[in-house]
Amino acid sequence: MTETGRERLIQVPGSKSIANRALICATLAVGRSTISNCAPGDDTQAMLEALKTLGVKTDQDGTTVRVNSQINLGDTQPLELQTRLAGTTSRFLTALCALRVGQTTIDGYAPLRKRPMTGLHDALSSLGASVRSLDIAGHLPVTVGRGNSWQARIAIDSTTSSQFTSALMMIAPYLPCGLEIELRGEVISRGYLDMTVAVMRAFGAQTEIAGNVIWVSPGTYRGVDFAVEPDASSASYPSAIAAITGSRVTIAGLNRNSLQRDVEFFDVLSRMGCEVRQQQEGISITRDPAQQLRGIAVDMSQISDCVPTLAVVALFADSPTTISGVGFIRAKESDRIGDLASELRKLGAQIDEHADGFTVTPVALHGASLATHEDHRLAMAFAIAKLRIGGIEVQNPEVVSKSWPDYFKVFESFFKK
């Protein structure tokens, strides 16, 4: 972080969503790949450790990862992979390992075992893979392996998690006839599917999305040099800080043309009264202290990772804010509606839950000790509130290691005067 006057230039980590997609493609690719600005958090490290177990040779120098060998899909050795709390990692690896001849068991820590995997497991089974739950059906741990034949067409429920579809897309070039995927129901987090397409194309895949149908041609990935964008979800936290304190920050290297839909969070803050500009250095956001934050109504179904951040910003608006379209986030690392609401109520906040979201009505607030429910996004969002409310304690702050290990170090220096 650097500072000039009231403007602060913030370096956020690389996007773990993009990094994990790039690592899967690089693992399957012919030839070496170099992935720069790779995300530093636990999810990415869980991916790298799993790839090592799978026999993929990698080396890491800071945030640069080199993938030096291709996965041996013909290996018959049974393997076990531990994905900790990493939902994206576990889902992508489950699909990847469905290409292996040998059986692979994917497991995670207790909270990850509670998260839904049914859509992915059923889809892989329908395609022809061997899928066997070891405890509760549709949850980890699961053992997968290559089946005797593969289907070329599948329909998938797209109302639960885009990660299921992305996982299938990334292995599809290695199916004998490629894959046609029909998305059924309202597609949540469609931007992540567009991200998957962009990363796959960077590694040489041929894939298209038209409406609710995705086509992936058979083929192979090729090794490339790939730069990971700054993480737009992480950028929401310093941006929210500018919003609630009436200051200015610039997110270094982030562009409005990002592969990540979470850059739309800047548009949400603009509607609330902030000024957003694309600068040469990155995206800057400012709020004039004389300009009150306005409450808004917003559908966040496509930028759901930013819901906890906006909930905290909404505490300091001059009118209610209603967030909708996000009922599915109850099945994230935490119940990001129920747990978020119950913790903010400890501050005295008025939060009214709805089937697909909640309304925040600004009222007088006070300090409290807030539980993070093993959720990095709750921890980072709650910390922002400390700037306006005295006496807040964020419990188990170390959970931020999932995506931004240095978050509190950056946070403390950001506000030290």
pLDDT digits (tens, 9 = 90+) for 161-208: 899 999 999 999 999 999 999 999 888 889 999 999 999 999 999 999
Domain positions in the chain are 16-227, 229-415
CA Rg, the chain, in Å? 21
Is residue 126 within 8 Å of 98, Cβ to Cβ?
no
Report which of 218, 269, 228 is spatially closest to residue 99, judged by C-alpha positions.
218
Q: Is the pTM of this model over 0.85?
A: yes
Q: Which of 107, 231, 262, 305 is catalytic?
A: 305
Question: Residue 161: what pLDDT?
Answer: 84
pLDDT of residue 129 exceeding 90: yes
Do 16-227 and 229-415 come out as alike in CATH topology?
yes
Beta-strand relationship, 33-36 and 64-67: antiparallel
Question: Residue 417: what pLDDT?
Answer: 42
pLDDT of residue 66 exceeding 60: yes
Alpha-carbon distance of 110 to 276, in angstroms, equals 41
CATH for 16-227, options being 3.30.1360.10, 3.30.230.10, 3.65.10.10, 1.10.1740.10:
3.65.10.10
pLDDT digits (tens, 9 = 90+) for 386-407: 999 999 999 999 999 989 999 9
Question: Which fold is adopted by the domain 229-415?
Answer: UDP-n-acetylglucosamine1-carboxyvinyl-transferase; Chain (3.65.10)
**305 is known as an active-site residue:** yes
Alpha helix (H) ranges present in 304-393? 307-314, 338-345, 376-385
